[in-house]
Copies of this chain bind each other. A is one copy, B any other.
Amino acid sequence: MYTIRDIARLAGVSVATVSGVLNNKPTVKPALVGRVKKAMDALDYHPDQVARSLRVRRTLTIGMVIADVTNPFFTDVIRGVEKEAQRNGYSVILCDSNEDPALEQHYLSTLFARRVDGVLLAQTSSSSVQESRIHKRFPIVLIDRVPLGFTGAAVITDNFSAAYEGTRHLIELGHRQIAIITGQLNLSNGLDRFEGFRKALQEEHLALPDKYLQQGNFQLDSGYRCGLELLRLPVPPTAIFSCNNKMTLGLMRALGELHVNCPQALSVLGFDDFEWSAYFTPRLTTIAQPTYEMGRQAMQMLLRMLQALAENDGQAGGIQETTLRLKVELRVRDSTAAPVPMHDVQKENATVEISNQG
């Protein structure tokens, strides 16, 4: 393993000159640049970023802490982050907190010890980032979820409007008995979706019976359980709004098991689009978040914060970044349709019974 001194010796120049070449300093004479580069090629020299990081106090590395790499929502976000990071010479240390606040804390400490320049965080509990101690360590951009009332650096989607528009879609199809399967309500993504839903119902003076409000936890299993609950009600809803991709899958499973036809007997609207939404039977109507774009924007915001820090020589100041709220897109496919009048539904159910026995 060669060092900058080996290169300097071979090229017959000083280490400062080699460093100048490495950092494209304009003061180095072209003739020397050539000699130095030739020496670097000859020894297949690659400067040690660790040493460089120690000296310049920048690692060109950021940490990304997410709740679940397995969720296609996050993988698309990762793609956007990675792309933008790579374009700017940054590497990304990925940490999967697995929805565990303790593990999340542990990862944040590790990232700090490794002196990452900044962090992108999809927090699992609202408490962890409240601590200003953590914010003092490095710039943080929140993704997808923010604590209630948070207005700082973050990239999220306009969950309220999204849920509102989605629910309007169901109402406009003629649905009056609409149920919801929510996620956790202590973070913005869960709560705002519910509030948007509720507002749409209220505007139309539609009731939301207690039984029609099922609280899940964004996991597949909760969608399944809440789905069974709803479908077995004496008066089941004619449409269900499921607040994320995994719960929608669980819900579809419940439909399948109870042989409930979708969309004839029940319309399903799911939050989060994903590559295979369009391959389901029926093709799912979803609310698509601009996942890739969220990743890109979050990384760009973090880069701006890092730049500002560098320019102000470590002092906070300059333009403060504020929460960026991206628009979503309603993708109407085949899982939502006008409700069938009540007696028709009962006929439908009768048919289902027969096919159950057959």
- Tell me which of B48, B94, B114, B220 contacts A49 (CB under 8 A): B114
- Does A109 lie within 8 Å of B46, measured CB to CB? yes
Known: A54-B54, A79-B96, A93-B61. A70 touches B112 (CB 8 A): no
- Tell me which of B46, B75, B78, B93 contacts A91 (CB under 8 A): B93
Closest B residue to A77 by CB, please name it. B69
A249 interface residue (CB < 8 Å to B): yes
DSSP class of A's interface residues: helix, strand, loop or mixed? Answer: helix
A93 surroundings in chain B (CB, below 8 A) = 61, 91-94
A96 surroundings in chain B (CB, below 8 A) = 78-79, 82
A95 interface residue (CB < 8 Å to B): yes
In whole Å, how far is A199's beta carbon from the nearest beta carbon of chain B? 31
Give Cα A59 to B115, complex, Å: 12
- Does A94 lie within 8 Å of B72, measured CB to CB? no
- Does A114 lie within 8 Å of B94, measured CB to CB? no
- Does B48 lie within 8 Å of A113, measured CB to CB? yes
A204 interface residue (CB < 8 Å to B): no
- Render A53-68 as a binary contact track against B, CB cut-off 8 A, 1 for contact: 1100001010000000
A317 interface residue (CB < 8 Å to B): no
- Does A49 lie within 8 Å of B82, measured CB to CB? no
A interface residues with partner B (beta carbon < 8 Å) = 44, 46-51, 53-54, 59, 61, 69-70, 72, 75-76, 78-79, 82, 86, 91-96, 103, 109-115, 133, 220, 249, 252-253, 256, 275-276, 278-281
